[in-house]
Amino acid sequence: MTVGHLLLKSFGANEAVFQLMMLAYNVFLLFKFDSLSISKYRQQIKTFRLKYVFLAANIIKTAQFNNLRAVGAFLVSSQLKDGNVDYIIIKSEKGRECTIENPWDVNKLIVIKDEKENDIKVVKNNRRFTFKTKPNETYKIYIKH
């Protein structure tokens, strides 16, 4: 929500949305205070979300999410199978550069393919990799077995 713009037509509904946003932010802060070391405490929400997307994987070995909206106009889908990330699918809405933190072993060969199964050039930097996207294109990221 931006200043001077109401998300919904009803004032009461907007108040409820704002209260839920504040609750989510405060739960996030509580989790940071309670669970993270001082060195990790300064993380921003988007960094935090990337690192802890599969936090429940320690308990649950299988999980999946679809079309999770990410910063930069991306829709992200992924699957966790037997405790390992099986794949990541990214749909670029605006055609911006995409950077992902590698969820796999650093020594594994990562493959990124577009909708036509063409290989995409990747720039690696430690545990992160970056690639260029085109508007409304979908990219599948996985490790070569």
Q: For residue 101, what pLDDT is reported? A: 85
Q: For residue 138, what pLDDT is reported? A: 92
Given a cut of 70, the residues of the chain with pLDDT beneath it are: 1-8, 32-60, 106-109, 145
25-58 pLDDT, tens digit each: 777 777 766 666 666 655 555 555 555 554 544 5
For residue 32, give every residue at least 6 positions away whose Cβ sits within 8 Å of its Cβ, in sequence order, or none. Answer: 41, 43, 48
The upper half-sphere exposure of residue 50, i.e. CA atoms within 13 Å in the direction of its Cβ, equals: 14
Helices (H) and strands (E) in the chain, counts: 3, 8
pTM for the predicted model, two decimal places: 0.58
For residue 27, give every residue at least 6 positions away whose Cβ sits within 8 Å of its Cβ, in sequence order, or none. Answer: none
Q: For residue 1, what pLDDT is reported? A: 46
